[in-house]
Structure formats: structure tokens, C-alpha cells
């Protein structure tokens, strides 16, 4: 074992853990700054990052030490053993920044646990290939679950002996290491039998199917609604399905693949939506029960072969969990029946295919705005629907050299209303130009007669103002706001600010595969507020605001300009609207504010695409900021959607009727 450590040897000029992380984490300072006090706090944000509904993203039973302690232990341990750089690089080197970030924190947790072992260097060496398998897993929910199970097994006297026995039972199975970890939680007489599955089927050559199997085991084993006997029944059901033999000849593989995936998805869906129903499951009724409980959450009516269609559509999309998470948010609303009905319409259309949804979003019968815009303008309608794209790969892009903090505060507080104006009136007055507000806040903070609660509120407002000149206050401001107003949308804005303050002025050469697009893809539009920082239209945001999200997806006057990464995720975007100038009786284009994961880095590319599209359509391009003010009346003239969000019109609008009071010319 000792000989193998040499391949991880650090050069004489040792690099610290922070330096090692900085190589792979453009935002590593943010990660190691101690913003998160413990793992649970971090898991809440990771849940939002991963768009999960979430009760088991990170195991709530784990008593995690603080991250500062975890990273300190990891640095000390790895540097002592001389395996820092290569080991960490091997375990953390992923193209997906969020994936890297998650693995970094999990590795810190592992280091903290290993700190209690005298032979930790040998254990780390033995664990490294297993950790590598876990860190390669793309299922964001399962990675920490694997880590938790593995660490609990280490606490046993026999260490990893039993794990190695399980791996040896079915050595040809591509996911044998991860399956063995899951089965460590099963009572020992049972789990060896569970490993004796017919895993030679071609269906399990697909890593997604392997993860579905592992997820299904975990769902049953960790259900709080099932007794141990009921868990045994459900585990037996999974085993019978995997080992099933069908008599049909040509359809055997296809049948088994569809049946397995449908069953796994149904089981996990039921666990999320109505876990009590797990007790009723059999091989014959599982899909019917899932269809029923899904309908109770999102009304879609009768859909033939629902589970199979769901897997072939939503199941193939990135962040497919986002749909149920969003439905869960909407169910909190008083007007939930209305908005969930619209969500059901979206789901049903998506199940039929993108073509069906594309036709529906551009129908003019129930959309008075599109009827007005497209009337006698056949060529405009054709060109608007066509969209555009071009490659951005290989280009050098730069983030802004600095962030205008005052502009940031004015935008997020005055325009977007992400802090309650009534709760923080003096801050609002200051941002509106009232210099006396600052003196009043200082007096409130420094006067002993001020009640404690008022003094705290005044102090928070004062810190916001001082942030304009001292950006280092951002971390403390976020901490104070979280204590006083934990549901404020401005918290999300402050996290964006903290991340981007660390990367301002940096250049980046884009890898091949980046694209600039003008798109109406329904799933891109659905995730348009989730995959970029700073948007209130993320699927786990305030449902009073996010109820407007479906207008992006289903109203044909809305498209999106976006920079998309090679993996399809959105790196930056701006909603692109086809509006109407009622004063001059003509259509115009309006480019909304850019939301980006890297401040300013892709603004130019998105504007160039907007100008290119405006010229192709023969329309004036407008925006909320620019050198020349537009003199027309810019309006949206109604929609089939009950709610729509428009930054430039002031937020949530009803029925698709709104006016943009101030617009500037970007291109004529």
C-alpha cells in the first residue's frame, strides 16, 4: 500500500489546499471564506443550486463540523502525508464547476472524519479509488448519501472488509462499488442476496439506469413510512423486476428497459409526492399509483403510457427534478388551482413533444398580443419563430473590472423590490437621493434610547449604504440579513454579489461548445431563472413571483437570448420580447436585463445577437438602458397566461397586459 502513495507525491515546493482548489475552483475563495457555518446551511444552498425538491439532499442525521475545521483538517492531513496535489486533483477535476464545488466540500467532510483514525493515511489511500467513483457520479442527490454510508461503515471495527466482500459478489456490474455502498445499510443477511441480481442485461450498461437502480434501493431503505417488513417486500419487488424474463423474442430488451426505468421512476416519484402510497405498491399497480399521485400534484388528466412518456421527455432533460420542485412551490399559493392548471397544460404538451408545445405557444386565438403583432405580418412571424445561434467557443471573454455597488442596490431594491420598502424605508429614501436618511440611520444606531429591534433594522440599512464604499461588508451584511429577514429575496442577490466580487476583471478562454442562441426551447425557458445567478424566477423562489415563469415558456412573444455551455446549461441570458408600440403602430423588440453567472462576461455577446436579430426582423431594438430614449408607447397587449414577470415593467403583471414606461434605443 505504501508504494502506491508515491504516485501522489508532492513536489518540493508544496502547494497549500487553497492554492490547489484555486486551480480548479474559480470561486474557491468564496467556498473557503467561512460564509457557511456548517454543512446543513451549505446543503440548503446546494439544494437550490441543484434545483431539488429536497428532503434528503444531505443526510440530516449527520452532525457536520464547520467547513473551516473540515478544510483545515484536510489541508493538514494531506500535506502531512505528502499526497496533496495529485490526490486532490484526481478527485476534484471535473468540467462542471458545481460538481467540483460539491466534491470539494464532501472531501473536506471525509478529511474531518478521517482525522479521528490513527492510520488515516492508509485509510485515505484505500478510500481514494472509491471516492473517485463517487465523485464521478453525476447524481447530485446520491453523492453525499454514498459518502455518508461509507463513513458510517468505517466506524465499524472491521472497516471496509464487508464492503469489499459485496463488491466481489457481482464484479462485472459497472456500478458495483456504488451498489455495494447502498447495500451497506441493508441488514446483513439480506444485502448479499440483493446483490445477486441479473445485472448482465444491456440496460445496465447505461449509467443512468444504474443510478435509477441505486436510487430505488435508497428510496425504499430510507423511507420513514415503511416498516422493516414492508421494506423487505419492496426490495423483493425490485429484485423480481430486475431478474424478470419475458417470453417475447425481439421485444425482450426493449420491454425490460422500459419496464425497469418506468418502475424505478414511479417508485421514486411516489416517494416524493405521497410516500404513504409506498405501502400499497406491487409490480402490477406501481405505474397506476404514480400516475394518480402525479395528477394530484399537477393536473394533466388522462395520458396513455404516462410513465413511459414522462421518462422519454422530462426524464431525458437536465435537472428533471425541477418540475416537481416547482409544482411544490406553486402549491403554497392561494391561487394554486389556476397556476397548477397552466403547469399541467405545459406538462401535457411537453409529453406530446416539443413540436406540439411550439405550435401552442404561438397560437393567436387566445393571445391578443400576438394576434395584433402578427396581423398582416406573415414574414415577421416566420422569422421570429426561427431564432438563431452561433458558436462562441475559443473566444477570450472578460468579466467587468468592477461592480457598481450603488447601481446594484438601486436595481435590486428600488426596481426589483427584493427588500421590503416599508420595512427598510430610510434605505429606500437614501437610494432615491435623500441624504438626510443616512444621518437618521446613524442617529438611530448610536442613540441608546433606540429600541433593540429598531436599532438592528437601522444597522442593517446602514451597512447596506456603507457597502457602496466597502465591498468587504457584503459577507457580514448577508449574515445579518439572514438573521433578521431570512426569506428576503435580497439574500440571493448578496450571494451573487459575493461570488462575482471574487472574479471581477478575470479573463477566460472559452472551451469549444459554447453557443449564443436566440431560443424558444421550453426547457431552457423553464430553467431560465434557475441556472443563472440573481434571478427571482428560479424554480425554488418565492411562488408569489415565480408563478409568472410559465409565461416565458408558453407565451410566444417571449424568447430568450442566452449563452449556453457545452453541457447545455445556461451561463447568461436575457429575456427577448416582441412588443408593440401603440403610438407608432408597429412591433418593436425589447431586450430585458442580462442575468449571468459571471458579471459582464457575456453582455457583449448577447447584445450582438440581439442587434443581429433586430436587423434580420427589420425592427427597432430597445432596452432599459442606453444613450437615446425612445419616444413611443411600448406595451404588451394581453396573453393567455394569468401572470407574467417583466423587469422593465416593474415585476409581476396580470393577464399579459403591461407598459414599459422608459425604453432606450439599442439599434434602429
pLDDT digits (tens, 9 = 90+) for 569-616: 898 999 999 999 999 999 999 999 999 887 778 888 999 999 999 999
Lowest mean pLDDT among 250-254, 521-525, 594-598: 250-254
DSSP state of 664: E
**148, part of any domain:** no
Mark whether 470 and 581 lie in a shared domain. Answer: no
pLDDT of residue 512: 73
Q: Which of 488, 515, 533 marks a domain boundary? A: 488
Other Cβ atoms closer than 10 A to 625: 11
Phi then psi dihedrals of residue 653, to 5 deg: -120, 145
Most confidently predicted of 1-5, 76-80, 187-191, 414-418: 414-418
Nearest Cα to Cα of residue 18 among 6, 9, 10, 30: 30
The pLDDT confidence band at residue 16, using thresholds 50, 70 and 90, is very low
**235, part of any domain:** no
Give the integer Cα–Cα distance in Å for 558 and 278: 41
Mark whether 568 and 613 lie in a shared domain. Answer: yes
What is the end-to-end Cα distance of the chain in Å, rounded? 70
Nearest Cα to Cα of residue 609 among 517, 519, 513, 509: 517
pLDDT over 60 at 147, yes or no: yes
Give me the number of domains the chain comprises: 2
Number of alpha carbons in the 13 Å side-chain half-sphere of residue 249 = 0
- Per-state percent for the chain, helix, strand, coil, to nearest 5: 55, 10, 35
pLDDT over 80 at 30, yes or no: no
Average pLDDT score over the chain? 76
pLDDT over 60 at 493, yes or no: yes
The CA-atom distances, in angstroms, between 225 and each of 230, 279, 280 are 9, 8, 11
Mark whether 652 and 563 lie in a shared domain. Answer: yes
Write out the three cell numbers for 569: 446549461
Write out the three cell numbers for 216: 430505488
**639, part of any domain:** yes
Phi then psi dihedrals of residue 588, to 5 deg: -140, 160
The pLDDT confidence band at residue 35, using thresholds 50, 70 and 90, is very low
Write out the three cell numbers for 383: 422569422
Dmax over Cα atoms in the chain, in whole Å?
86
Distance of alpha carbon 561 from its chain centroid, rounded? 19
pLDDT over 50 at 44, yes or no: no
Give the integer Cα–Cα distance in Å for 438 and 446: 12
Beta bridge partners of 564: 515, 570
**497, part of any domain:** no
Most confidently predicted of 95-99, 173-177, 323-327, 364-368: 364-368
pLDDT over 70 at 81, yes or no: no
Nearest Cα to Cα of residue 384 among 568, 619, 640: 619
Mark whether 483 and 525 lie in a shared domain. Answer: no
Give the integer Cα–Cα distance in Å for 66 and 36: 8
Give the integer Cα–Cα distance in Å for 282 and 304: 20
Distance of alpha carbon 606 from its chain centroid, rounded? 22
Q: Give the 3-state DSSP-derived string for 245-271, with helices as H, strands as E and coil as C.
A: CCCCCCCHHHHHHHHHHHHHHHHHHHH
* Contact between 488 and 418 (Cβ < 8 Å): yes
Give the integer Cα–Cα distance in Å for 135 and 183: 19
Sequence length of the chain is 668
**84, part of any domain:** no
pLDDT of residue 492: 82
Domain of 378: which CATH number?
Answer: 3.40.630.30
Residues 147-167 have a mean pLDDT of 77
* Contact between 426 and 437 (Cβ < 8 Å): yes
Mark whether 550 and 586 lie in a shared domain. Answer: yes
**246, part of any domain:** no
**426, part of any domain:** yes
Residue 433 burial (CB < 10 Å; 0-12/13-18/19+)?
A: exposed
Mark whether 472 and 533 lie in a shared domain. Answer: no
Q: Between these two residues, 4 and 554, which has the higher pLDDT value?
A: 554
Q: Between these two residues, 270 and 57, which has the higher pLDDT value?
A: 270
Mark whether 455 and 589 lie in a shared domain. Answer: no
Q: Which of 426, 460, 488 marks a domain boundary? A: 488
pLDDT of residue 304: 87
Mark whether 561 and 482 lie in a shared domain. Answer: no
DSSP letter string, 217-242: HHHHHT-SSS-HHHHHHHHHHHHHHH
Q: Between these two residues, 151 and 203, which has the higher pLDDT value?
A: 151
Mark whether 530 and 649 lie in a shared domain. Answer: yes
Mark whether 440 and 416 lie in a shared domain. Answer: yes
Nearest Cα to Cα of residue 329 among 85, 545, 565: 545
Lowest mean pLDDT among 9-23, 47-61, 250-264, 271-285: 47-61
pLDDT over 70 at 367, yes or no: yes
Q: Between these two residues, 219 and 115, which has the higher pLDDT value?
A: 219
What's the pTM value of the predicted model, to 2 decimals? 0.72
DSSP state of 411: I
pLDDT of residue 36: 38
The CA-atom distances, in angstroms, between 588 and each of 578, 617, 636 are 6, 10, 11
Q: Give the 3-state DSSP-derived string for 614-636, with helices as H, strands as E and coil as C.
A: HHHHCCCEEECCCCEECCCCEEE
Q: Which domain holds residue 418?
A: 411-488
Give the integer Cα–Cα distance in Å for 161 and 518: 55
pLDDT of residue 531: 87
pLDDT of residue 207: 59
Helix (H, G, I), strand (E, B) or coil at 336: helix
Lowest mean pLDDT among 130-139, 152-161, 293-302, 498-507: 498-507
pLDDT of residue 374: 95
Q: Which of 421, 455, 488 marks a domain boundary? A: 488
Nearest Cα to Cα of residue 549 among 534, 564, 539: 539
Helix (H, G, I), strand (E, B) or coil at 660: strand
Most confidently predicted of 56-60, 201-205, 402-406: 402-406
The predicted-structure confidence for 444-455, as pLDDT tens digits, reads as follows: 989 888 888 899
The pLDDT confidence band at residue 357, using thresholds 50, 70 and 90, is very high
Residue owning grid cell 444504474:
210
**57, part of any domain:** no
Phi then psi dihedrals of residue 417, to 5 deg: 70, 35
For 371-439, strand residue ranges (E) read 388-391, 396-398
Most confidently predicted of 127-136, 239-248, 316-325, 449-458: 449-458
Residue 224 burial (CB < 10 Å; 0-12/13-18/19+)?
A: exposed
Classify each residue of 443-476 as buried b or exposed e, where b means 16 or more C-beta atoms within 10 Å of its C-beta: ebbeeeebeeeebebbbbbbbbbebbeeeebbbe
Give residues with Cβ within 8 angstroms of 365, minimum separation 6.
Answer: 371
The CA-atom distances, in angstroms, between 136 and each of 10, 83, 91, 143, 630 are 23, 20, 8, 9, 52
Mark whether 600 and 645 lie in a shared domain. Answer: yes
Q: Between these two residues, 233 and 623, which has the higher pLDDT value?
A: 623
DSSP state of 567: T
Nearest Cα to Cα of residue 507 among 598, 594, 595, 405: 598
Nearest Cα to Cα of residue 64 among 102, 18, 110, 98: 110
Torsion of CA 88, 94, 98, 104, to 10 degrees: -10
Nearest Cα to Cα of residue 219 among 258, 292, 274, 177: 274
- Percent of the chain with pLDDT strictly greater than 90: 30
Write out the three cell numbers for 27: 470561486
User: In terms of DSSP bridges, do strands 586-591 and 621-623 run parallel, antiparallel, or are they unpaired?
Assistant: parallel
* Contact between 591 and 621 (Cβ < 8 Å): yes
pLDDT over 70 at 42, yes or no: no
Residues 48-52 have a mean pLDDT of 34
Beta bridge partners of 635: 580, 659
The pLDDT confidence band at residue 90, using thresholds 50, 70 and 90, is low
- Percent of the chain with pLDDT strictly greater than 70: 69
User: In terms of DSSP bridges, do strands 643-646 and 570-581 run parallel, antiparallel, or are they unpaired?
Assistant: unpaired
Give the integer Cα–Cα distance in Å for 126 and 128: 6
The pLDDT confidence band at residue 535, using thresholds 50, 70 and 90, is confident
Mark whether 482 and 374 lie in a shared domain. Answer: no
Phi then psi dihedrals of residue 590, to 5 deg: -130, 125
Amino acid at each position: 500500500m505504501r508504494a502506491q502513495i508515491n504516485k501522489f507525491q508532492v513536489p518540493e515546493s508544496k502547494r497549500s489546499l487553497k492554492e490547489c482548489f484555486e486551480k480548479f475552483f474559480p470561486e474557491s475563495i468564496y467556498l473557503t471564506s467561512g460564509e457557511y457555518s456548517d454543512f446543513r446551511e451549505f446543503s440548503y444552498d446546494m439544494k437550490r443550486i441543484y434545483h431539488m425538491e429536497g428532503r434528503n439532499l444531505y443526510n440530516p442525521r449527520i452532525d457536520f463540523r464547520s467547513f473551516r475545521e473540515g478544510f483545515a483538517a484536510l489541508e493538514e492531513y494531506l500535506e502531512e502525508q505528502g499526497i496533496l496535489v495529485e490526490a486532490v486533483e484526481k478527485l476534484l477535476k471535473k468540467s462542471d464547476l458545481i460538481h467540483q464545488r460539491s466534491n470539494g466540500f464532501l472531501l473536506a467532510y471525509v478529511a474531518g472524519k478521517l482525522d479521528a483514525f490513527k492510520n488515516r493515511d492508509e485509510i485515505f489511500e484505500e478510500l481514494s479509488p472509491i471516492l473517485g467513483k463517487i465523485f464521478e457520479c453525476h447524481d447530485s442527490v446520491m453523492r453525499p448519501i454514498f459518502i455518508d454510508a461509507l463513513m458510517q461503515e468505517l466506524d465499524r471495527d472491521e472497516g471496509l472488509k464487508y464492503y469489499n466482500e459485496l463488491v466481489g459478489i457481482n464484479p462485472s456490474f459497472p456500478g458495483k462499488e456504488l451498489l455495494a455502498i447502498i447495500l451497506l445499510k441493508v441488514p446483513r443477511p439480506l444485502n448479499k442476496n440483493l446483490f445477486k441480481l441479473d445485472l448482465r442485461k444491456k440496460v445496465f450498461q447505461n449509467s443512468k439506469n444504474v443510478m435509477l437502480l441505486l436510487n430505488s434501493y435508497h428510496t425504499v431503505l430510507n423511507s420513514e413510512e415503511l416498516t422493516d417488513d414492508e421494506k423487505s417486500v419492496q426490495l423483493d419487488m425490485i429484485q423480481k423486476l430486475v431478474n424478470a424474463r419475458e417470453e417475447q423474442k425481439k421485444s425482450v430488451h426493449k420491454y425490460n428497459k422500459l419496464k425497469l426505468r418506468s418502475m424505478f421512476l414511479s417508485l421514486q416519484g411516489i416517494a416524493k409526492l405521497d410516500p404513504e402510497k409506498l405501502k400499497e405498491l406491487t409490480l402490477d399497480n406501481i405505474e397506476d399509483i404514480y400516475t394518480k399521485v402525479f395528477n394530484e400534484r399537477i393536473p394533466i388528466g388522462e395520458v396513455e403510457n404516462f410513465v413511459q412518456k414522462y421518462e422519454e421527455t422530462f426524464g431525458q432533460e437536465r435537472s428533471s427534478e425541477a418540475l416537481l420542485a416547482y409544482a411544490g412551490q406553486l402549491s403554497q399559493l392561494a391561487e394554486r388551482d389556476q397556476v397548477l392548471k397552466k403547469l399541467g397544460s405545459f406538462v401535457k404538451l411537453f409529453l406530446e413533444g416539443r413540436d406540439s408545445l411550439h405550435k401552442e405557444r404561438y397560437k393567436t386565438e387566445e393571445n391578443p398580443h400576438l394576434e395584433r403583432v402578427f396581423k398582416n405580418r406573415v414574414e415577421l412571424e416566420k422569422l421570429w419563430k426561427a431564432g438563431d445561434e452561433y458558436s462562441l467557443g475559443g473566444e477570450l471573454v472578460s468579466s467587468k473590472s468592477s461592480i457598481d455597488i450603488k447601481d446594484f442596490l438601486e436595481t435590486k431594491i428600488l426596481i426589483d423590490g427584493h427588500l421590503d420598502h416599508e420595512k427598510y424605508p430610510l434605505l429606500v429614501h437614501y437610494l432615491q437621493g435623500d441624504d438626510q436618511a443616512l444621518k437618521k440611520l446613524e442617529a438611530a444606531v448610536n442613540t441608546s434610547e433606540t429600541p433593540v429591534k429598531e436599532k438592528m433594522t437601522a444597522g442593517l440599512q446602514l451597512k447596506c449604504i456603507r457597502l457602496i464604499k466597502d465591498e468587504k461588508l457584503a459577507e457580514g451584511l448577508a449574515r445579518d440579513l439572514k438573521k433578521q429577514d431570512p426569506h428576503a429575496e435580497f439574500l440571493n442577490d448578496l450571494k451573487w454579489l459575493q461570488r462575482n466580487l471574487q472574479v471581477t476583471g478575470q479573463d477566460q478562454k472559452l472551451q469549444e461548445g459554447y453557443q449564443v442562441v436566440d431560443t424558444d426551447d421550453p426547457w431552457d425557458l423553464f430553467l431560465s431563472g434557475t441556472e443563472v445567478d440573481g434571478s427571482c424566477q428560479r424554480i425554488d423562489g418565492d411562488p408569489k413571483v415565480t408563478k409568472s415563469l410559465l409565461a416565458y415558456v408558453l407565451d410566444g412573444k417571449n424568447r430568450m437570448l442566452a449563452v449556453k455551455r457545452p453541457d447545455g446549461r445556461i451561463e447568461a441570458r436575457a429575456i427577448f420580447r416582441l412588443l408593440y408600440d401603440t403610438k407608432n403602430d408597429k412591433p418593436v423588440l425589447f431586450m430585458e436585463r442580462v442575468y449571468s453567472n459571471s458579471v459582464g462576461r457575456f453582455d457583449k455577446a448577447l447584445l450582438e445577437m440581439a442587434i443581429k436579430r433586430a436587423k434580420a426582423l427589420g425592427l427597432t431594438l430597445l432596452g432599459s438602458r442606453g444613450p437615446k430614449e425612445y419616444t413611443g408607447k411600448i406595451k404588451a397587449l394581453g396573453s393567455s397566461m394569468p401572470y407574467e414577470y417583466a423587469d422593465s415593467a416593474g415585476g409581476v403583471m396580470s393577464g399579459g397586459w403591461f407598459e414599459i414606461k422608459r425604453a432606450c434605443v439599442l439599434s434602429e
